[in-house]
Amino acid sequence: MLSWLDRFPWIWLLLLAVWMAITPITPEPHLLEKLRLLVHGALVRPLDIFDLVMHAAPLLLVALKLWRQLRAQRVTPAR
């Protein structure tokens, strides 16, 4: 089901994750702004929720790819 993620190159995924995490740089990255709103309970507008998901999704894909890779290494017997 997620074999496309296994084939996706690390470099592009990491570049996308970093880019989406820091854009726009000024006045404050959207991801930090939306996480701050979430912590304070002020993340209520649909646009803000969409923005959080959009900016956090590549980071979640990095975590998922890393988890799948580590799990695959642990399952396959060492030679």
Residue 2 makes CB contacts below 8 A (sequence gap 6+) with 64, 68
Give the gyration radius of the chain's Cα atoms: 16
Predicted local distance difference test score (pLDDT) of residue 36: 93
Predicted local distance difference test score (pLDDT) of residue 26: 84
Q: Burial level of 1, CB count in 10 A (0-12/13-18/19+)?
A: exposed
Do 64 and 5 touch, CB atoms closer than 8 A? yes
Per residue in 9-58, pLDDT tens? 999 999 999 999 888 888 888 889 999 999 999 999 999 899 999 999 99
Q: Is the peptide bond before 24 cis (omega within 30 degrees of 0)?
A: yes
Domain boundaries, the chain: 10-75
